[in-house]
A and B are shown apart, each in its own frame.
Chain A
Amino acid sequence: GQNIDQPTEMTATEGAIVQINCTYQTSGFNGLFWYQQHAGEAPTFLSYNVLDGLEEKGRFSSFLSRSKGYSYLLLKELQMKDSASYLCAVRPSPGNTPLVFGKGTRLSVIA
């Protein structure tokens, strides 16, 4: 089976840094994606990791450890508009194959 775990909810303060963790046990591994989803809207792509290490993209960074089955998304200089759900998704099979999503982490940014 495929299992992806994330915390259900997190709260953080505007201007702060927050780290959203994701652990996975999947039948295979061909990359891990992070998506942002505002309530009632489509998921939008944030990052992709397939090799161990940190990928940085502006205020957002994503880290992967394949040996530990672990990733995190780091959001810096939080803004109110960052309040959203953050979805961790794994691609178990090679090629452009379906993603398996976690349940998402609902992040609330407060003043």
Chain B
Amino acid sequence: EPEVTQTPSHQVTQMGQEVILRCVPISNHLYFYWYRQILGQKVEFLVSFYNNEISEKSEIFDDQFSVERPDGSNFTLKIRSTKLEDSAMYFCASSASGRSGTEAFFGQGTRLTVV
């Protein structure tokens, strides 16, 4: 069964360092997302991406964050200068169509720990 894959599964980084989280969405999907989940809290939307551009972003997604689809398969989230409060599980998701009822398929997540 097709799945969204994310690498690495766990990343530890020092405060102020740049990190890039990588995702390979399901191959025929057109809509891509990043969500995050701070330990013990709810899943929060960061950004959505369609047709090679950001379609929507939340207040969390400030200038320190960027996304890119560098080739036909990868979808990356970059955090330019990490802060302690960026420690969270980051989930990539993708979905197939633009209909409201289309479910998002989530990857296994990258656990980011900023020290």
Give me the interface of A with B, judged by CB distance under 8 Å: 30-31, 33, 35, 41-45, 48, 50, 87, 89, 91, 94-104
Contact = CB atoms under 8 A, between A and B. Distances in A.
Interface stretch (B66-74, B79-87, B102-110): B102-110
Interface of B: 4, 31, 33, 41-45, 48, 50, 56, 58, 91, 95, 97-109
Nearest to A37: B43
A99 B101 CA distance: 11
B84 to A, nearest CB: 21
B42 A94 contact: no
Contacts of B43: 43, 87, 89, 99, 101, 104
Contact of B109 (A42, A98, A103): A42
A94 B41 contact: no
Given A43-B43, A43-B91, A98 B56 contact: yes
A98 B50 CA distance: 12
22 contacts: A35-B106, A42-B106, A42-B107, A42-B109, A87-B43, A94-B100, A95-B98, A95-B99, A96-B31, A96-B98, A96-B99, A96-B102, A97-B56, A97-B100, A98-B33, A98-B45, A98-B56, A98-B58, A99-B43, A100-B45, A101-B42, A104-B42
B97 A96 contact: yes
The 4 closest A-B pairs by CB, nearest first: A42-B106, A98-B45, A30-B100, A45-B103
